[in-house]
């Protein structure tokens, strides 16, 4: 689609890397997904497109080991993409922010998991300090860092009216964070079917960025029937999908109401 449509920008919102089951069950023609495949394919596209090659902004997701971050940063140095986690960049008159962390989940890999607004953990979920990390993390950061605090530092009082924010987690209690947990109980307590970030929800409501992009809860749009939501003046889009297709969202930041989603 990059070759066919030559977009101005592309946003990749995490969960980019092959999972462990795929790695051990498939015969991939590459040894390293980031360097041999992702960077290799985009290098060929850039060579073919020249000045039409888009600005690419990406983050990793909670299914991606942070041990691959070094390879992502190395490819950024070659100009293939912008690694935007916990950073602020520009795209014309727009400001781009990225943030990978999600609230604690039931999964063991914790590279991109962090307490949300407090040290509370939902029933059935594993605290960040009790899981697996592929890179060293300080005990203080694991136990006391929060998504809420990170977002305040990242935006630092900025005017977000012309911002595009690339999150991995969706905001809590929206069309974008509905998990398939209906009827599930943990120690006789019902599991919350909404598993997005309260910190991100409050942040969007208070700061009103122009557009926020999300993923993480792959089945949400299938359950809710919607891949978008709105909070005041903020348009929220999710490209998460649990089918074999690629979910592609096209949007014009000057006309976000015209955004479309296609399964390829």
Q: What tens digit of pLDDT does each residue of 120-163 get?
A: 999 999 999 999 999 999 999 999 999 999 999 999 999 999 99
Residue 24 pLDDT = 47
Between the CA of residue 51 and those of 47, 89, 96, 165, 255, what are the distances in Å?
A: 9, 20, 21, 25, 25
Quote the mean pLDDT of the chain: 95
Confidence class for position 204, pLDDT limits 50, 70, 90: very high
Tell which residue, 105, 95, 91, 96, has the closest CA to residue 147: 105
Residue 27 pLDDT = 60
Locate 29 and state its tokens: 């023609």
Confidence class for position 187, pLDDT limits 50, 70, 90: confident
Residue 189 pLDDT = 84
Residue 215 has pLDDT above 60, yes or no: yes
Residue 38 pLDDT = 96
Contact assessment for residue 117 and residue 198, using Cβ atoms and an 8 Å cutoff:
yes
Residue 23 pLDDT = 45
What's the Rg (C-alpha) of the chain? 18
Contact assessment for residue 226 and residue 238, using Cβ atoms and an 8 Å cutoff:
no
> Among 26-30, 34-38, 254-258, which stretch is predicted with the lowest mean pLDDT?
26-30
Instruction: CATH number of the domain at 251, please.
Output: 3.60.21.10
Confidence class for position 78, pLDDT limits 50, 70, 90: very high
Q: How many domains does the chain have?
A: 1
Mean pLDDT of 33-60: 96
Residue 264 has pLDDT above 70, yes or no: yes
Residue 28 pLDDT = 59
Residue 26 has pLDDT above 70, yes or no: no
Contact assessment for residue 102 and residue 87, using Cβ atoms and an 8 Å cutoff:
no
* Residue 236 domain boundaries: 2-263
Residue 76 pLDDT = 98
The alpha helices in the chain, defined as continuous H runs, are 2-5, 20-25, 39-49, 69-77, 139-144, 147-155, 198-207, 220-224
Q: What percent of the chain has pLDDT over 70?
A: 96
């Amino acid at each position: 689609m990059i070759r066919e449509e030559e977009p101005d920008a592309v946003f990749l919102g995490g969960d980019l890397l092959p999972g462990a089951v795929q790695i051990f069950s498939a015969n991939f023609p590459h040894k390293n997904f980031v360097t041999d495949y992702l960077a290799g394919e985009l290098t060929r596209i850039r060579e073919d497109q020249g000045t039409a090659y888009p600005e690419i902004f990406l983050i990793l997701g909670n299914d991606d080991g942070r041990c691959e971050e070094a390879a992502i940063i190395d490819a950024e140095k070659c100009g293939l993409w912008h690694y935007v986690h916990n950073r602020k960049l520009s795209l014309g008159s727009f400001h781009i922010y990225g943030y990978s962390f999600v609230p604690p989940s039931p999964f063991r890999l914790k590279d991109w998991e962090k307490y949300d607004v407090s040290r509370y953990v939902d029933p059935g979920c594993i605290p960040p300090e009790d899981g697996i990390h592929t890179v060293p993390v300080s005990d203080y950061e694991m136990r006391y860092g929060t998504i809420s605090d990170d977002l305040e530092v990242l935006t630092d009082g900025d005017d977000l009216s012309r911002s595009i924010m690339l999150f991995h987690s969706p905001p809590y209690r929206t069309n974008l964070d509905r998990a398939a947990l209906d009827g599930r109980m943990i120690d006789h307590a019902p599991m919350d079917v909404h598993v997005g970030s309260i910190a991100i929800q409050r942040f969007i409501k208070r700061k009103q960025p122009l557009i926020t992009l999300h993923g993480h809860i792959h089945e949400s749009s299938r359950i809710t029937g919607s891949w978008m939501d709105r909070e005041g003046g903020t348009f929220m889009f999710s490209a998460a999908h649990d089918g074999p297709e690629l979910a592609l969202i096209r949007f014009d930041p000057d006309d976000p109401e015209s955004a479309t989603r296609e399964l390829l």
